[in-house]
Amino acid sequence: MLKRYIVRRRTITALCCSIVLCANVVYAQENNLFNIKQYGAVGDGKTDDAKAIQKAIDACHAAGGGRVVVPAGITFLTGPFDLKSFVELHVEANAKLLANPDEHVYTQSAFRNNKGEGTIWIGGENLVNVTIAGSGTIDGNGISFMGAELEDSYVLKPFNIIDPRPHVLTIVGGKNIRIKDLTIRNSAYWTVHLVGCDDVAISNITLLNSLKVRNSDGIDLDHSKNVRITNCYIESGDDCICLKNRREFEEFGVCENITVSNCTMTSRSCAVKIGSENMDSIRHIVFNNCIITKSNRGIGIQNRDEGTVTDVVFSNFVIDSHLFSDVWWGKSEPIYVTAYRRAKANNKDANWRFPKGATEGKVGNVSDIFFSNIKCRSENGVYVSAETKDKITGIHFDNVDLQINKTTNIAGGVYDRRPSMLEGIVKAPTSGFYFDTAGSLNVNNCSVLWGSNRPSYFAHVLESNNVTGLAITNLMGQSAFPTKVAAIKK
């Protein structure tokens, strides 16, 4: 009799627990909450939970939208999965989505038929009203996809057709996208890649990539429009924030109406970059109130394709730049504006850089660019250079102050024009402003101050070669060696 009572009691207890669980699920779904554990996610950091996460996202989307919850305090290992419209992916405090280190699970190219530049981990196409948020972490597990560690980088593993390194987030054709409050880290390739997206807000994220991982861009805006990036902290081996128009997505048109404010960035390449891929137009851009520290280049406009760059404002910056090894493009230029045709066959994906059927490209114009109230500490000066004078016009420097000092043991006296049809690394004296082949440049209320470590290649306050329409007003400073070198050389 007692045994039968115990069995019956256990049955009733199990039934009650089942009823409570079902009630919780019903309650959650009625409140548009979809916890990934309720869809089978294990969260042991070893089991691939991609299928369970996808089930939760699909259920949320089918219910008309809501929040997919990655619960607090748990690490969920996961391979690729896709976001859906009207879904918020919410990573709670101390929760982590960790990319599966098995490269074989990554099969979808990040660039359509161009399979040589990485794959997609978290993706989505033609999305409307999508949010990725929370105080947790999305971790790309990037070092797992690298080869041996070197002093300045990691060896890139060889591959046949598909480079398996996953981009963390790729959204193609998104409308009303919000990314906020997260920590996103350790990407093996680009981190946040938004293609053809319209009405985007990225705010208060911390993005931390290894400074040794090549191609680990922070945020790439590709053919995107009406984007606001605010209050972010970004460290990346490659560019921190980059605007471009890739040829693989040309149907999405121009990249325009972008504002970036109150961000702090560190990069081994270029902290803020426009280009180099630009087959359309990049226009109506404002960067304001930003700090760039411990970087290679500071601000870079690197036009290498037929697209144009126009109507861009950079204001209220503090830039700290230093020389790094030749693994990284750039030679400590705090501000860099160049326009050159792209080099032929300069890398594994060169055939995707030129128009279909072409073996050589063209370069478009860079015009109406404004630099205002920018304070620079660097090992090199401002560099403006183009293949012909008409390719760069209307560049304005107002209240740009430079302090140039030798701070590393890496040789300077060079400028970096890669990837260019002409000479890539150019030997030239280091001047505060170095202008080579351009039209209509204005330098107003600027200054150059040299530090105590002055190698022999430190030279002029301003040097100008083959420039038409150079206007200089109230430029302060002496040359690095006043008794030997003139302040201004034209």
pLDDT, tens digit, 9 for 90 and up, residues 112-161:
999 999 999 999 999 999 999 999 999 999 999 999 999 999 999 999 99
User: pLDDT tens for residues 210-269?
Assistant: 999 999 999 999 999 999 999 999 999 999 999 999 999 999 999 999 999 999 999 999
User: pLDDT tens for residues 179-206?
Assistant: 999 999 999 999 999 999 999 999 999 9
pLDDT of residue 350: 54
* Domains of the chain, residue spans: 1-31, 32-257, 269-490
Most distant CA pair in the chain, distance: 110
**Is there a cis peptide before residue 325, judged by omega within 30 degrees of 0?**
no
User: pLDDT tens for residues 88-100?
Assistant: 999 999 999 999 9
For residue 132, what are the β-bridge partners?
89, 179
pLDDT of residue 16: 46
The answer to whether the CB of 191 falls within 8 A of the CB of 169 is: yes
> From residue 307, how far is each of 188, 282, 383, 436, 455 by CA, in Å?
28, 8, 21, 21, 38
Cβ–Cβ contacts within 10 Å for residue 143, how many? 14
Instruction: Provide the whole-model pTM.
Output: 0.94
pLDDT of residue 19: 44
Question: Does position 5 have pLDDT exceeding 60, yes or no?
Answer: no
Query: Cβ contacts of residue 58 below 8 Å, gap of 6+?
Result: 84
d(CA 385, CA 388): 9
Question: Considering the chain, what is the average pLDDT of its residues?
Answer: 93
CA angle 202, 189, 123 (to 5 degrees): 55
> From residue 249, how far is each of 22, 223, 255 by CA, in Å?
45, 8, 12
Domain 32-257: give its CATH superfamily: Single-stranded right-handed beta-helix, Pectin lyase-like (2.160.20.10)
pLDDT band (50, 70, 90) for residue 359: confident
User: pLDDT tens for residues 46-97?
Assistant: 999 999 999 999 999 999 999 999 999 999 999 999 999 999 999 999 999 9
SS3 364: coil
> From residue 366, how far is each of 161, 188, 243, 303, 317 by CA, in Å?
35, 32, 14, 8, 21
User: pLDDT tens for residues 383-440?
Assistant: 999 999 999 999 999 999 999 999 999 999 999 999 988 888 999 999 999 999 999 9
Is 335 exposed, middle or buried, given 0-12, 13-18 or 19+ CB atoms closer than 10 A? buried
The answer to whether the CB of 184 falls within 8 A of the CB of 193 is: no
pLDDT band (50, 70, 90) for residue 20: very low
Q: What percent of the chain shows pLDDT beyond 70? A: 92
pLDDT band (50, 70, 90) for residue 2: very low
pLDDT band (50, 70, 90) for residue 483: very high
The answer to whether the CB of 359 falls within 8 A of the CB of 405 is: no
pLDDT of residue 22: 45
pLDDT of residue 346: 52
pLDDT of residue 317: 99
Residue 144 φ then ψ, to 5°: -65, -20
